Chains A and B, each alone.
Chain A
Amino acid sequence: MNYVSPFLFWAFTGLMLGFALAVVFNRNPVASALSLVVSFIGLAALFVQLDAFFIGSIQILVYAGAVMVLFLFIIMLLDLKAEQRRRLNPFTAIGGAAVILSFIAELITVLRHVPGGNNPLPALSGRGLSGQGSIDDVREIGFTLFSHYNFPLQVVGVLILVSTIGVIILSKRELK
């Protein structure tokens, strides 16, 4: 529990980033969507490595299982074709590349100043709610959620209701 294998970390990071690139550079939208699914799986593995088991499960269930499936439904519904190759406008290419490269540069510069950025994974020693030696993070998250963040939880519930209604209305065909 206190040890993160570097090999596994880089392997899953590579999986995640590689398939993320595939999302961007694939012309077939179905292939893009499926690449994104695999990327999310890699991400979930990273979550698990960080002892965030609940979040990892939620990631697979909700994101990969529900959201991406919805995407695929829509892609199939709209019957999207693969994109054509196109000529790249040099101005936009340079501008975009400039923004992205400067962002990466800033990222790397910031990382040097993160406090505690170079510390290794700290050992978990707390007792937690379960009282056992292991972490029961579902219980911990549930406890935090329903005690400290109860109100936001209710609001999110209303939000989901509203969005459901919105989706229904938006998808309706014009009433004759």
Chain B
Amino acid sequence: MVTLNDYLLASGLLFTIGFAGVLLRRNIIIIFMCLEMMLNAANLSLVAFSRFNLVNGLPNYNAQVFVFFIITVAAAEVAVGLAIIVALFRSRQTTHVEDVSRLKF
């Protein structure tokens, strides 16, 4: 029998793996993908809560609408982000994250 805690644990672990990827990888594209993974972990949490906290015998569809918005915004973000990365690559010829440190104080 699967409980809410199991779904939340799965979501938490996925988030942690994504965060580890952000810390460990040096290629910007991979870092970006791990970011997406983190967003999806949040989505899983929301859907789990939606199903386990029923409203009038039905799942709480507010959470699922929220997930819908998250997916949309994430898609837009990926588009813009990748455009930026392409522009960056064009000027620097590298996707190595340690080379793009012009923003330091």
Interface residues of A (CB under 8 A from B): 4, 6, 9, 13, 16-17, 20-21, 23-24, 29, 32-33, 36, 39-40, 43, 46-47, 50-52, 54-55, 58-59, 62-63, 66-67, 70-71, 74-75, 77-78, 80, 83, 86, 96, 99-100, 103-104, 107-108, 111, 114, 116-122, 124-128, 135, 137, 140-141, 144-145, 148-149, 152, 156, 159-160, 163-164, 166-167, 170-171
Instruction: List the 10 closest A-B pairs by CB distance, nearest first.
Output: A126-B57, A126-B58, A125-B57, A170-B83, A24-B21, A163-B76, A107-B12, A117-B5, A50-B51, A167-B83
**Chain B neighbourhood of A23, CB < 8 A:** 17, 21, 30, 33-34, 37
Check A170–B87 contact: CB distance below 8 A.
Answer: yes
Query: Across the interface, which residues of B come within 8 angstroms of A39, CB to CB?
Result: 37
Q: Identify the closest chain A residue to B82 (Cβ).
A: A74
Q: Which of B7, B33, B80, B85 has the most CB of A within 10 A?
A: B33
Question: How distant is B43 from chain A, measured CB to nearest CB, in Å?
Answer: 8
Selected contact of A111 from candidates B9, B23, B65, CB within 8 Å: B9
**Given A6-B1, A23-B30, A156-B69, do A52 and B52 touch, yes or no (CB 8 Å)?**
no
B16 partner residues in chain A, CB cutoff 8 A: 100, 103-104, 107
In chain B, positions 33-78 with a C-beta closer than 8 Å to chain A are 33-34, 36-37, 40, 43-44, 47-48, 50-54, 56-59, 61-62, 64-65, 67-69, 71-78
User: Are B1 and A120 in contact, with the CB atoms below 8 A?
Assistant: yes
A167 lies within 8 A of B79 (CB)? yes
The smallest C-beta distance from A32 to any residue of chain B, in angstroms, reads 5
Please give, as numbers and ranges, the residues of chain B lying within 8 Å of A46 by CB-CB distance. Answer: 7, 10, 44, 47
B residues adjacent to A (C-beta < 8 A): 1-10, 12-14, 16-21, 23-27, 29-30, 32-34, 36-37, 40, 43-44, 47-48, 50-54, 56-59, 61-62, 64-65, 67-69, 71-80, 82-87, 89, 95
Given A114-B4, A119-B52, A140-B61, A80 and B33 touching (CB < 8 A)? Answer: no
